[in-house]
Amino acid sequence: MFCATAPLALPALAQDVSPATVTITATRQAYQGDFRRLETPQAEQAIDAETLRASGAVSLTQALDLSASVARQNNFGGLWNAFSLRGFVGDENLPSNVLVNGFNAGRGFGGPRDLSGIETVEVLKGPRAALYGRGEPGGTVNLVTKRPTFKTAGELRLSAGSFNTHRVDADWTAPLSDAVAVRLVGFYEDADSFRDTVHTRKHGISPSLAWRISPRSRLVYELESSHQALPFDRGVLAVDGQLGRIPQSRFLGEPGDGPVQADVLGHQLEFQHDFNKDWSALLGLTTRKTSLEGFSTEAELAASRQRLFVDGQTLTRQRRFRDYDATYQVVRAELNGRFQLGGLQHRLIAGVDADRFENDQVFLRARAPTLASNPTLARLQAINIFQPVYGSHALPTPTPLTNRLETQRSVGVFLQDQINLGDRWQLRLGARHDDYRQTLEDRTANRTTRQNETRVSPQLGLVYQAGPALAFYATVGENFRPLSGADALGNGFEPNQSRAVEAGAKFSLGGVDATVAVFQVRQKNMLVAADASAATQLAIGQARSQGLEIDLQGELADGLSLWASYAHVDATTSNSFNDPSFGLPVPAGTRLLNVPQHTLSLQLVQDLQLAGRRLQVGGGLLHVGERPGEFTTRFMLPAYTVARAFAAYDLTAATTLRLDIDNLANATYYTNSFSALWVQPGAPRSLRLSAAFRF
């Protein structure tokens, strides 16, 4: 059994460190219990620190490129993380939700997530609502943070790269006594971009403290604080549906808007107590405040206002101001244990949690009139896409459009029991009951709407242990996710609901662990436009996603490691409805936005010796298939394949020099879009040189 006081191998502070094992007093992951990989009736990927370092990832988006089940989605001008898992995405007007150490605490507006304080990124596929509560139908992403150890170690990493990019990362952990240890993690980055006029600056710190109160009790506190200043950048566009008519570097906003400011301040506290070798309790709370504020100038999407559709060169734009604030608070209590009943072994997870999410949005907009009124170029906020001149028109003052406060409250009770039916069979039974309340205060209309919902999310799983290195499994479960906003009558929407079925095999071959899974997910109550003008909405949309996944990771031979992930995803609408963003008709069978049918991610790393010191070389490849670039048209983003390579050499026992090269072939590609006028281009070939100093 995994006991919380048992030694746990900790990934080294850097992948360059020799693979000596460091031990710490472990804390149990919330909601996950005591299960080996082959006993879990769902597909999972754990992208650990070594794999992340080998990939060169410094952001969550880059890390998730390692999972073929994840597809990039509209990232809100680069201001947040947005992704789909197994074809399905959450609310397109909010960042994709992630867990942090099991806390449902990734919501809010703090900017794209940096990996400086993250040890492992877990991609937990399939239905998880029976434990975690409301979530996305395709699965969940959980971030495991870096926590203190009781052995002193530290690293300072300095990086410089293409597009005038400079970055500093620091990580230090040490015991203050036999019972208390601390860890200090921080980063600073200043960078231009391959995009014209785009400059970003960000920094953050993640200090934490661990206290071994007694041999059976532990307390961990973590703080997260970050600030980012980055321009709102909707990317490039297609002219008459054709990409590549303007350079990848062309910025179509206004530099005079200045950067958008994104801030995070979060606290997380966990207390764990072991009653004995079989039973333990976990208490935790988190609070996270985020904000996003700034101006943007971006392409107008309405055809009746868009001059580009007339002359093919003059882009109508709108200016916006956003002042978004969010506060998220979660409290949970959980009991884990094992017992014998009726001659069968049971492993139980039971608990209760409560959360409160406040979403305060003030949104102003200055928009051009329709082309029928023959507006001036200044009123159109126009820019020539082939010969842009920034600042040629006075920046208009936006006027109020949205001013609302939404509050979501939820209390959940969950229970999961995994029963050993014999030497080979295990049965997982789980269910969660949620009471959910939503209050939406529209301060512009002076109207408040409320709704209450009660949902039970069941899960049933079965595992057959065919041998010590082979298991087959099947699972079925339900999910729900509340929907923000109100209909034309001011009433709240029925929650988005989904049902998922998954079956697969997990096995180990030599040093490689593998999972093969097939799945089908159906969801209903998606928000759609109630009429062609899209002024009001209904929750009547339905969609289906099904596919195949193959994931492998491990050591192929002495010093040669492999990471491979492939997914075939067929995600389409199941009924006809009007698109919620543009009000255009969407027939049944329409492919979902930004979801490729085929994705492949590969990474190989070889450890060598050169002049008696460690040399590590490796590379990776990402292939993303063709996918819809607009939900209501035939505009498609082309398939792309990009490759990367790196080499790291230990100059001394404490110093490592590393070179990363991304997009080796300098391919032109596009990662995601929302419309043909909002398309995010991928970066050209880039280099990064870094030096790590361990102490």
pLDDT in tens, 376-404: 999 999 999 999 999 999 999 999 999 99
- Residue 21: the pLDDT is 35
- Residue 157: the pLDDT is 98
Provide the pLDDT confidence category of residue 7 given band limits of 50, 70 and 90: very low
pLDDT tens-place string over residues 433-458: 999 999 999 999 899 988 888 989 99
Residue 557's SS3 state is strand
Question: What is the spatial distance between Cα 681 and Cα 326, in angstroms, rounded to a whole number?
Answer: 29
Give the N- to C-terminal CA distance of the chain in Å, as an integer.
34
Q: 476 pLDDT exceeds 80? A: yes
Contact by Cβ (8 Å): 138, 125: yes
Provide the pLDDT confidence category of residue 18 given band limits of 50, 70 and 90: very low
Q: 657 pLDDT exceeds 70? A: yes
- Residue 334: the pLDDT is 95
Provide the pLDDT confidence category of residue 14 given band limits of 50, 70 and 90: very low
Provide the pLDDT confidence category of residue 27 given band limits of 50, 70 and 90: low
Cβ neighbours of residue 681 under 8 Å, at least 6 residues apart?
235, 236, 248, 668, 669, 670, 671
Q: Which residue has the higher pLDDT, 479 or 198?
A: 198
Give the DSSP H or E segment for 63: helix 60-64
Provide the pLDDT confidence category of residue 529 given band limits of 50, 70 and 90: confident
User: What is the Cα 539 distance to its own chain's centre?
Assistant: 25
- Residue 8: the pLDDT is 32
Cα Rg of the chain (Å, integer):
25
Give pTM, 2 decimals. Answer: 0.93
Residue 51's SS3 state is helix
Q: Which residue has the higher pLDDT, 18 or 437?
A: 437
Share the mean pLDDT of the chain.
91
Q: 106 pLDDT exceeds 90? A: no
7-694, CATH topology level: Maltoporin; Chain A (2.40.170)
Q: What is the mean pLDDT of residues 575-591?
A: 88
CA distances 679 to 248, 260, 483, 648, 676, Å, are: 10, 19, 26, 35, 6
CA distances 267 to 106, 173, 240, 356, 548, Å, are: 12, 19, 49, 15, 38
Q: How many of the other CB atoms lie within 10 Å of CB of 166?
A: 13
- Residue 17: the pLDDT is 36
What are the sequence ranges of the domains in the chain? 7-694
Residue entry with tokens 């040093």: 511
Pairing of strands 99-100, 139-145: parallel
Residue type, 248: Q
Q: What percent of the chain has pLDDT over 70?
A: 94
Contact by Cβ (8 Å): 516, 568: no
Residue 617's SS3 state is strand
Q: 678 pLDDT exceeds 70? A: yes
